[in-house]
């Protein structure tokens, strides 16, 4: 909230999954997520909608609801989005996610100035876990570039070679 009581503009993604209760437990174990709010997810009402946070990042998890146009990646045989979790130690977070049941798609490497890796969670969502340029990390053998030296410069969008995936 701002000082005037008007909410600040924010974007909070909501991920549709199958097995919502298990997804909440996975994100807690994999990323240290905190459950901020929950509706359902009980034996009496299995479907869950939960607000989770990792540090200052907030996202929602809900059981898929085809009647409302909300499908999990498992139903679509792929996801329409990819999450990017920015952390201080991407290798440690990627290892923690793998230990919790995620599949490592790409190990943490230096790429486009980022230190970044990628996992697929057990519910079909892909997560890039990384540290951007200017966050205390510079790939070996590189010289500072504008995004790394000027904090006011917008970080370029991470591009991947889609042919290699």
Which CATH architecture best describes the domain 74-155? 2-Layer Sandwich (3.30)
Give the Cα separation of 90 and 129 in Å (integer). 6
- How many of the other CB atoms lie within 10 Å of CB of 79? 19
Check: CB of residue 131 under 8 Å from CB of residue 86. yes
Question: Closest Cα partner for 117 from 88, 90, 142?
Answer: 90
For the stretch 120-133, what's the b/e string if a residue is b when 16 or more beta carbons lie within 10 angstroms of its beta carbon? bbbbbbbbbbbbbb
| pLDDT in the model for residue 156 | 40
Residues 6+ apart with CB under 8 A from 54: 27, 31, 32, 33, 34, 85
Report field, pTM of the whole predicted structure over 0.85: no
Check: CB of residue 125 under 8 Å from CB of residue 117. no
What are the pLDDT digits (tens) for 123-142? 999 999 999 987 765 445 44
- CATH 3.30.720.110 in the chain: give the residue spans: 74-155
Question: Is residue 26 predicted with pLDDT exceeding 50?
Answer: yes
What are the pLDDT digits (tens) for 50-69? 999 999 999 999 999 999 99
Superfamily of domain 9-63 in CATH is: 2,3-Dihydroxybiphenyl 1,2-Dioxygenase, domain 1 (3.10.180.10)
- CATH 3.10.180.10 in the chain: give the residue spans: 9-63
Give the Cα separation of 114 and 116 in Å (integer). 6
> Containing H/E element for 37?
strand 34-40
């Amino acid at each position: 909230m701002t000082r005037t009581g008007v909410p600040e503009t924010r974007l909070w993604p909501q991920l549709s999954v199958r097995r919502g209760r298990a997804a909440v437990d996975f994100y807690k174990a994999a990323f240290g997520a905190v459950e901020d709010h929950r509706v359902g997810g009980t034996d009496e009402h299995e479907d869950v909608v939960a607000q989770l946070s990792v540090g200052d990042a907030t996202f929602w998890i809900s059981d898929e609801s085809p009647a409302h146009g909300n499908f999990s990646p498992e139903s679509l045989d792929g996801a329409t989005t990819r999450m990017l979790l920015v952390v201080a130690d991407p290798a440690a977070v990627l290892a923690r996610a793998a230990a919790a049941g995620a599949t490592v798609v790409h190990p943490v490497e230096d790429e486009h100035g980022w230190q970044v890796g990628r996992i697929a969670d057990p519910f079909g969502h892909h997560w890039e876990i990384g540290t951007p340029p200017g966050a205390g990390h510079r790939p070996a053998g590189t010289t500072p570039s504008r995004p790394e030296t000027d904090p006011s410069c917008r970080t370029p969008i991470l591009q991947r070679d889609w042919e290699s995936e």
